[in-house]
Amino acid sequence: MSNRGPAYGLTREVQSKIDKKYDPELEERLVTWIIAQCGSGVNRPEPGKTGFQIWLKDGCVLGELINSLYGSNKPIKAIKSSGMAFKQMEMISMFLKAAENYGVTKTDMFQTVDLFESKDLAAVQRTLMALGSLAVTKDDGCYRGDPSWFHKKAQENRRDFSEEQLTEGKNVIGLQMGTNKGASQAGMTGYGRPRQIINNP
């Protein structure tokens, strides 16, 4: 992990492309939200990608964040800072599991190594954005901060129709099926007739 040498060739190219997806403006918004959500116990990180990664790497800030969104029923019982790599990775994994239970889809989730080894911090930003959007959408009183920081997710708008309404709907011809109103066959000739050529003397 920490003793890995520099990347060369294709590996370096791929890592460079991943690094370009990282958004510094989004970082600022996420940091502001996390501090607002978790309270004064969370210090502001050093600006920049490395500062952001170091701030979240031990999993404590992420644990505080997810606990604050759950209200009284906190998913992560003990949040302890540890210098041991496996303990830090375990905290990140606990956050990811709690975030999935909260409603973040698997496609929006980052992998533990994306954060711990700074492999793909853009994926970490994506997960935190999805989490913020869910918190704003749920509107259960646990979200703190400006609701305009995240967009609301679309919610189901279920409609139930009675049997009577469904049978009545079968009698209506939808316009996407076409209409024959205003159409007539006036002026049409039969198909296949030869062209009439008349010799005028």
pLDDT tens digit sequence for 157-183: 677 778 888 788 777 766 666 666 666
pTM higher than 0.85 for the full model?
Answer: no
Closest CA to 102 of 143, 61, 162: 143
pLDDT tens digit sequence for 9-42: 666 666 666 666 777 788 888 888 888 888 877 7
112-139 mean pLDDT: 85
Say if residues 51 and 64 touch (Cβ distance below 8 Å): no
